[in-house]
Structure 1
Amino acid sequence: MGALSRWCRCLGIPPVAADCLLAAVILALNLVLLGQRHAGEVAATVSGVLLCTAAAVGMVFRRKAPLVALGLTTAAGVCYAITQQAKSPIGLFMACAAYMVVLRTDHRTRGTSIITVVAVTLVAAAVFTNGELLANLFNGLVVLFGAAIGEATRYRRAYVQELEERALRAEQSRDEEAQRRVIEERLRIAHELHDVIAHHIALMNVQAGVAAHVLRSEPDEAEHALSLVRSGGRTVLQELTVLLGVLRRSGSPLPTAPTPSLHELDALIQSFTAAGVQVHYQPPEPLGPLPDVLELTAYRVVQESLTNVLKHAPGAPARVRLTQTAGALTVAVDNPEPASGSGTGARPGGGHGLVGMRERVTAVGGTLSAGPAAGGGFAVCAVLPLGTGGVGDDSGVAGRRSDVDPEWVPGAGEFSAGSAGRG
C-alpha cells in the first residue's frame, strides 16, 4: 500500500483517485468470486454486491475519516461473513482502512481500534458461521496484516523525518560555526586596528602639538616634529594596508608583513621616546624561543600601556619590565610619578584599550591586573604562561603574581568596569 502511494505520487495521481482505483480493483475481485460462488442465486448475489459496494465506498474516505472508514468496512465484512457463510476478499477493504488508521491516529487510538475490529471479526466468525472458526478467520488476519504494514510504514517515515531533522540541525550548526568564526575574525581585526591606530595617531597628535607650539620660536624643532608626524602617517598606512589585506579575495598579490614581536620592542620604545615619553626600559636576558601569539600579546600590552601614558599622563615617565620565571612571562608597565594628570587609567573615557588587553591576555591563558599603583600613578601587569594551551588554560599562572616587584603591582584592585573606560 505504501508502494502504491509512492507510485501514484510519481505519476501525479491525487491520493483520492488512487484510493478510488484501489477500491475498484478490490471490488471487482470480490464481484468475480461472488458470481462464481453463487451462480443462479440472485438474493445471495445481490446482498453480497451491496455489502462489497458499501465496503468500497467506506474505503474511499479512509484518508479524511480513517476511523469511520474502518468501522464501515468492518461492518460490511462481518455482515458478509454472516450472510454468505464463506470467506471473501472483502477483508482487503478492512486491511486498507486499518493501514490508514495506524498512520493517522495516536498510539492509544490505533491500538484500541485494531483490537476491537479483530475481536468483533473473531466473535462473528465463531458465533455466526456454523462453527467453522478457522475457515473464517481470513478477515481478522488481513486486518492484522494491514495494521502491521501501517506500523512499519509509520516507523519508516518517522526514521526518515529524524534523519532529515538531523541533517538540518547539522547544516544549521555549520552555519552557526561559520558565523561564529566570522565574528571572531572581525573582533581580532578590530583589536589589531585599535592597537595600530591608537599608538601611531597618539604619537602624531603629540608631535603635531609640539610643532604648532614651537613653529615660530624654534623652526628646526617644529620641522623635526613634523617629520615624525609624516613618518607616523606612513607607518599607519603601511600597517593598515597589511592588516586589511586579509579582507581581500584569495590569491591577492598583496605582500604581508611579519607579526610584531618582542624583537621590535626597542623600536617601539624609541618611537615613544621621540614623542616625549621618558621610558625606562632595561632589555631582559635572552628569553629564548617563545610562541608567536605570546610575543604578539606581550608586544601589544606594552604598546597599549605606553599609548595610554602618552594620552592620559603626558610628560610622565614610564617603566617597562619583562621578567621570565619558571613557566611564565611577566610584562609590567607603569608610570609611578606622573608629572600631570593622574596616571594611565585614572581619566575615564570611552576607549577599549584595557578591554582589548584583557581579552588578548585571557586568550593565551594569562591574567591581567590594571589599576592605581601602591606608590602612586598607574600600573599594568600581565602574566603570560609559557606553556599555555589556549583560552582558559591557567596552568602555571596561579600564584605567580608574587614574583613581580610589589611596587609594580596595582594596589587598588583588579581590572574593573571603572578602569575599563580608559584607552
Structure 2
Amino acid sequence: MTSTGEEQGRAGPPLWWARRRDVVVDVALAGVSAAECAWEGIRFADEAGIPVPLGVLFGVVVGATLVLRRRWPIAVVLVGIAVAPAEVGFLLSVVGMYTLASSEVPRRIIAALASMSLVATFIVMYLKTRGDVEADPGLVVALSGFVAVALTVPPMLLGLYIGARRRLMESLQERADSLERELSLLADRAEERAEWARTEERTRIAREMHDVVAHRVSLMVVHAAALEAVAVKDPARAAKNAALVGDMGRQALTELREMLGVLRAAPAKAAVAPAAAVGAAVGAAVVQVAAASVAAGVDEGPSLEELEALVGQSRAAGMAVEMVVQGAGPAGGAVYSAEVEQTAYRVVQEALTNCHKHAPGARVVVRLAHREGEVAMQVENGPCEGKADGVGLPSGGNGLVGMRERVLGLGGVFVSGPTDAGGFRVSAVLPVR
C-alpha cells in the first residue's frame, strides 16, 4: 500500500492535499472552471473592446485559481467577487463559497465574504436585468435578489453542514482513539493488579504452609528423637511418643488437606464473577480468588481457645512452657474477629516452633493479655541449655518475617529480639477492630 507521503510526492507541488483523490478532484474542477471562464472571456472581450485572446487568457487564469481552493479559500472567493462585474466565474464563485464555508475559517469572515458575494451578485444581476428587459422595477429587484441568494446561500449552507460534519467525525475519531488508549492503560493496570494479587496469594499460601507444617513437623522430629532415645530403655514412654508422633502427623495432614481444599475451591468461586471488561475481569478474578482463599482459610483457621492445646503439645514434647493469661477476654462480651484470633494463634505457634528449633531445653513463658481495644501476646524463652537429645531442626529464616507480615497486615505492632538474660522474645499487639 502506498503511503500518503509517497502519494504527495508523485502529485508534485503544491503539496497541500491530504489525498491523491483530492488532487484529481481539484485539478478537474479547475479545468472545467478555466474552460467556462475562457468561454465567458470571449464575450467579455467583445464588450470591453479588448483582443479576444487576451479575454480568453484572462478567463483561463481566473478559472484556474479554483485549484487553490483548499489552500487559500478566502483568496478564491475574493477572486470570484472581483470578477463578478465581468460576468465571469460562475463555477468559481459557487465552489469557492462552498469550500470557504466548509473550511476552518472563522464564522465572522465567512459571513462577511458571503455578504460581499451576495451584494456583488445582486448588483451585477440588477444592472444586467434592468438593461436587457423592460420590466417592473420591483420584479427586477426580486429577480436579482433571488439569483443572488440562489448563487450564494445554498453553497454556503452546504459548506457549513459538511464542515460541521467533518469536525464531528474528527472529534468522534479522537474520542475513539482516546478511549482505546484508556482501555489499553486500564488493561495494563488490571494486569499489574492481577500480578500483585497473584504475588500476594503466593505469599499468603507460603506463610500458611510454613505455619502449619513447620510447627507440626518440628514437634514430630522432637518426639521421634525422644522415641529413638528411649526405645530400648523405656518401652512405655517410647509407645507414648510414637502415639504423639502419629497424632501430630494426622493433624498436619488434616490441616494440609483443608488448605489444599481451599485452593481447589477458590477458582470455582471466582469463575462465577461476571466478565464485563477483559482487563478489569482479569484483576477482579484473581482478587476474588485471593479473597475467597483468605476468607475460607480464616473461617476454618485456629482460634485463641486452642492455645492451651497448642502449649500442651509443646509440653508433651518435653518443653517447659508456662502460659499466663491476663484479662477475661474481649470487653463487653464482644468477640474477636476470626482474622485477629487466627493471627494471634499463628504468632504463638511460630514462636513456640522457633523455641523448639533454636532453644531446646529452655524455659518458655507464653503471655496473653486482653486489653481495651487490643489483644497482646508474648512468647519469651530463657537461655538455651543445649540441644535436647541431639535434635537438630533446620530453619528457613521465614518465621519472623511471616509473623511480622501477619501482624502488620492487621494494623498491629510486632517486635522481636534477644533479651538481656540471653533468651529471645517475640511480642505482638493486635487491634480488636
TM-score (ref. length: structure 2): 0.62
Tell me how many residue pairs correspond in the alignment.
Answer: 336
> Which letter maps to 2:192?
E
Tell me the distance in 2 between the aligned counterparts of 1:265 and 1:31: 102
Tell me the distance in 2 between the aligned counterparts of 1:25 and 1:209: 102
Compute the displacement of 1:380 (Å). Answer: 1.1
2:366 is matched with 320
Tell me the distance in 2 between the aligned counterparts of 1:37 and 1:233: 110
The change in CA–CA distance for 1:208 and 1:52 in structure 2 (over 3 A counts) is farther
Q: What's the CA shift string for 1:311-334, capped at 9, x where partnerless?
A: 000111211111112211111110
The change in CA–CA distance for 1:40 and 1:50 in structure 2 (over 3 A counts) is same
Q: 1:301-316 maps to which residues of 2 (within 5 A)?
A: 301-316=347-362
Structure 1 spans left out of the alignment, 5+ residues? 1-14, 60-68, 103-113, 342-346, 388-423
Contact kept in structure 2, 1:26 and 1:93, CA below 8 Å: no
Q: What's the CA shift string for 1:388-418, capped at 9, x where partnerless?
A: xxxxxxxxxxxxxxxxxxxxxxxxxxxxxxx
Compute the displacement of 1:96 (Å). Answer: 5.8
Q: 1:39-78 maps to which residues of 2 (within 5 A)?
A: 48=59, 52=63, 55-56=66-67, 70=71
Greater radius of gyration (CA)? 2
Structure 2 spans left out of the alignment, 5+ residues? 1-17, 45-51, 125-147, 272-295, 388-392
Q: Does 1:298 align with 2:316?
A: no
Contact kept in structure 2, 1:208 and 1:226, CA below 8 Å: yes
1:207 is matched with 223
2:413 is matched with 367
The change in CA–CA distance for 1:332 and 1:75 in structure 2 (over 3 A counts) is same
Compute the displacement of 1:169 (Å). Answer: 2.5
The change in CA–CA distance for 1:381 and 1:197 in structure 2 (over 3 A counts) is same
Q: Does 1:273 align with 2:315?
A: yes
Q: Does 1:250 align with 2:268?
A: yes
Aligned to 1:368, the other structure's residue is in SS state strand
Contact kept in structure 1, 2:376 and 2:427, CA below 8 Å: yes
Q: Does 1:355 align with 2:401?
A: yes
Tell me the distance in 2 between the aligned counterparts of 1:51 and 1:245: 88
Tell me the distance in 2 between the aligned counterparts of 1:51 and 1:222: 118
Contact kept in structure 2, 1:70 and 1:94, CA below 8 Å: no
The change in CA–CA distance for 1:260 and 1:196 in structure 2 (over 3 A counts) is same
Q: What fraction of aligned residue pairs are identical, expressed as a percent? A: 32
Compute the displacement of 1:46 (Å). Answer: 6.7
2:277 is matched with none
The change in CA–CA distance for 1:220 and 1:258 in structure 2 (over 3 A counts) is same
Q: What's the CA shift string for 1:279-338, capped at 9, x where partnerless?
A: 101455531411111101100110010000000001112111111122111111101343
Q: Does 1:286 align with 2:362?
A: no
The change in CA–CA distance for 1:339 and 1:16 in structure 2 (over 3 A counts) is same
Compute the displacement of 1:165 (Å). Answer: 2.4
Identify the structure with the greater helix proportion: 2
The change in CA–CA distance for 1:242 and 1:349 in structure 2 (over 3 A counts) is closer
2:247 is matched with 231
1:400 is matched with none
The change in CA–CA distance for 1:305 and 1:331 in structure 2 (over 3 A counts) is same
Aligned to 1:334, the other structure's residue is in SS state strand
Q: CA RMSD in A?
A: 4.7
Residue among 7, 19, 22 paired with 2:22: 19
Aligned to 1:70, the other structure's residue is in SS state coil
TM-score (ref. length: structure 1): 0.63
Compute the displacement of 1:274 (Å). Answer: 1.8
2:283 is matched with none
Compute the displacement of 1:54 (Å). Answer: 6.8
Q: What's the CA shift string for 1:40-84, capped at 9, x where partnerless?
A: 67855676456656744x67xxxxxxxxx626x777776666667
